[in-house]
Amino acid sequence: MTTPQEQHPPQSPGGMFENRLRKNARHFRKWAQARGLTCFRIYDRDIPEYPYAVDLYGDRVLLVEYPRRRAIKTGSVEQQREEVLASVARVLETAPEHVHVKTHTPQPWGRQQYERMGQGSERFVVEEQGLKFWVNLGDYLDTGLFMDHRLTRARVREEARGKRFLNLFAYTGAFTVYAADGGAARTVTVDLSNTYLDWAEENLALNGLAHAQHALIRADVPSWLEAQRAEPERYELIVCDPPSFSTSKRMSGSFNVQRDQSRLLESLQAVLAPGGVLYFSTNFQGFTLNASAVRDLEIEELTPASIPEDFQRKEIHRCWRMVAPRR
């Protein structure tokens, strides 16, 4: 007589990973199609023994591994990576050359966090909620689109009509594309990187939105904001998503979101129109908002409601909606 355990032997961790990936892929592919998404996450470190994130970008896959220190010491990371790569290619029916791998390793602030391991650097277009964006899975620190912010981008589009919109630390300008698509009267996009500003311009053009009322400014955001305080242009809608830490030869000093938030928030309020809305976000999980710096604003924390369903780990970012008083 066989025991229940003999009839149904426990699954190996590898089998559990592949089965979870298959189940998630079925669910999220239907879910994404209903929402007009061709890029989304289908596995988010669901099983502790398999600390990976698996993102679909059209017919390409981005696999991000978060190796544990013990696995690094024992040298088991490479073996598990090969196992996971085989499962991903099999379950998602993806050619191995279309799977890009990056490794996340904790680094001191200001150091690069992702080591490029994948091959190829081809740019291609993905779709999100009726809009199109250029992405690149191989060449840069990130892909060009922060998928975890798509719900906040949708909010911005809904609120943008007829408003002056300011996008700070703008990266590749996805928020600007949404605001422009929502009918913003004017947009100003500020980032220190020429590469990302060119990318933002191409994203606007890709959606037929490259018009004169959409200005792109290369500048260090804190310094640029300080310069605006003398005779500020006021904006009815602002998005500010600063990095946790940044430093550059083109900056005066460094930027630390926890240390420098008070001055940044004060400068933001100087350019926020009466009754205007500021979306402030950070991916620094140790962040504590200085309430005294925003005491004159009506504040609503959107976390975790701002994080999409496909991101199972709800600590990926924090986000607030702040409204200036009407005078």
Q: What are the pLDDT digits (tens) for 98-142? A: 999 998 775 544 444 333 444 456 899 999 999 999 999 988 779
Q: What is the mean pLDDT of residues 157-165?
A: 98
- Integer Cα distance of 82 and 126 in angstroms: 27
- For residue 73, the model assigns a pLDDT of 55
* Degrees, nearest 5: CA angle 14-20-25: 130
Q: Tell me: pLDDT of 235 over 70.
A: yes
Q: Tell me: pLDDT of 2 over 60.
A: no
- Integer Cα distance of 270 and 267 in angstroms: 5
In the chain, the amino acid numbered 267 is: S
Cα 75 to the center of its chain, rounded Å: 30
Residue predicted with more confidence, 3 or 255: 255
Kindly state the percentage of the chain with pLDDT values over 90: 70
Residues near 47 by Cβ (< 8 Å), separated by ≥ 6? Answer: 13, 16, 17, 20
- Integer Cα distance of 114 and 101 in angstroms: 10
User: Does residue 294 contact residue 265 with C-beta atoms inside 8 Å?
Assistant: yes
Average pLDDT, the chain: 88
Q: How far is CA 131 from CA 105, 155, 206, in A?
A: 32, 14, 9
The helix, strand and coil proportions of the chain, stated in percent and rounded to the nearest 5, come to: 35, 25, 40
**pTM, entire model:** 0.90
